[in-house]
Amino acid sequence: MSTTLIAIGAGIAVLAAVGAGIGIGIATGKAMEAIARQPEAESKISKNLILGCALAEATAIYGFVIALLIIIML
């Protein structure tokens, strides 16, 4: 019984990944628009995009760390 609950808890913690997915999706979409408008600025845009994605990804990573802690600690 308790292992089931731990598994459910870890699963809920990983739901944080939803936000990161939406965020990175929006960021990439906007970057595509920007590149379509100004193809010559591509290198600058993609550099900032990668950085932004890495920062947005962090929220998903926090969820993952919490899930891992739930599994290991309990």
Partner 1 sequence: MTEELMEKLEVKTVFTIPLFGGIRVTESVVVTWIVMAALILFAIIMTRGLKTRGISKRQAFLEWMVTKLDGMVGGMVGGKAKVFSEYLITVLLFIGLANIVGIFGLKSPTKDMSVTIALALMSIVLVEASGIIFLGFKRAMHKFIEPTPVVLPINILEVVTKPLSLCMRLFGNVVGAFVIMALLEICVPIGIPMVFSLYFDFFDGLLQAYVFVFLTGLYLTEAVE
Q: Which is nearer to partner 1, 33 or 44 (CB)?
A: 44
Q: How far is the CA of 39 from the CAs of 26, 52, 65, in angstroms?
A: 19, 19, 38
**Least distance to partner 1 from the beta carbon of 58, Å?**
5
Residue 74 engages partner 1 in binding (rule: CB under 8 A)? no
Contact 19, 65 (CB under 8 A): no
Considering only 12, 55, 70, 73, the residue that binds partner 1 (CB under 8 A) is 55
Q: Estimate the crossing angle of helix 17-37 against helix 42-73, to 10 degrees.
A: 170
- Positions touching partner 1 (CB under 8 A) are 50-51, 54-55, 57-58, 61-62, 64-65, 68, 72
